[in-house]
Amino acid sequence: MEAFDRLIDVVRTLRGPRGCDWDRAQTPATLRPYLLEEAYEALEAIDRGDAQATAKELGDLLFLITSIGLAHEERGAFDLSEIPKAVADKMIRRHPHVFGDAAERPLWEETKQEERAAEGRDRSVLEGLPRALPALLRAARVSARAASVGFDWPDRGGVRAKVDEELAELDEALAAGAPDAIAEEFGDLLFSLVNLGRFLPVGAEDALRMGTDKFERRFRAMERALLEAGGSVSTTDPTALDAAWEKAKEAVG
């Protein structure tokens, strides 16, 4: 806790009268984009398996969390100490089989529903999922929450058939040339694919990240090869471009 107390003192000083103009000017709203950015940088470090980079990025996240907490404390919204206390209390409450005398682990969603009811919030199993989540991740969380209370396909075959159904409906919308219907059906198709991922099981967010990384790796290899040959992607004819793409796939996988 000594190291965390030191961080709090550093942030208080930065935001204090003799601190940094930039830090003093920050609000929870202005720090929000940095919080998201640092979270993604931490994810990238974790994906690379780089422990030192992970520690650095988690430190940046902790700095931002402390800054946002102190910004609220300064205007009397809550005390910074309430943050670790509240989450510790919540974890103890949700794990009575570890910290109490319960014989079995309680159902996670039922426990959270009871908490929401006690707080006077909506008891829906979908309550609390932020709209700011990346769309694929939010789709996965929404569908998993619904599945946790029994609203789900009985097996992978059902959701796989749903993908075909949504693809056919997208084709119909395309044939009709209806922009709103095209957007709606394309969204339904993506949502169905996310659900299919749960049955594989493959996380849609991670799978798309891997697919995008693979495309980028191949595209960069193709670019390099074309540049070394005195050309470029934009000046190469389609046939030669296809050949260069196939070579890049063979070269980098």
Phi and psi based region of residue 129 (left: phi greater than 0; alpha: psi -120 to 50; beta: remaining): beta
- The pLDDT of residue 129: 85
Tell me: the pLDDT tens digits for 91-104?
888 888 888 887 77
What Cα–Cα distance (Å) separates residue 156 from each residue in 89, 141, 191, 193, 196?
38, 18, 15, 11, 7
DSSP 103: S
* Beta-carbon contacts of residue 17 (< 8 Å; ≥ 6 apart): none
Length of the chain in terms of residues written: 253
- The pLDDT of residue 149: 86
- The pLDDT of residue 104: 79
The mean per-residue pLDDT over the stretch 46-70 comes to: 95
How far apart, in whole angstroms, are the C-alpha atoms of residue 43 and residue 203?
15
Show the tokens assigned to 76: 């009397």
Backbone angles phi, psi at 118, to 5 degrees: -65, -30
Tell me: the pLDDT tens digits for 6-17?
999 999 999 999
Cα-to-chain-centroid distance, residue 19: 34
pLDDT bin (cut points 50, 70, 90) of residue 109 is: low
Q: Minimal CA–CA distance to 188: which of 212, 206, 170? A: 170
Mean of the per-residue pLDDT values for the chain?
91
From the number of C-beta atoms within 10 Å of its C-beta (0-12, 13-18, 19+), residue 76 rates as exposed
Show the tokens assigned to 67: 């800054």
Asked if the model's pLDDT at residue 231 lies above 90, the reply is yes
The mean per-residue pLDDT over the stretch 118-132 comes to: 79
DSSP 106: P
Tell me: the pLDDT tens digits for 127-184?
888 888 889 989 999 999 999 889 999 999 999 999 999 999 999 999 999 999 999 9
Which helix (H) or strand (E) is 200 found in, with range? none
Contact status, residue 139 vs residue 191, Cβ threshold 8 Å: yes
Q: What radius of gyration do the chain's Cα atoms show?
A: 25
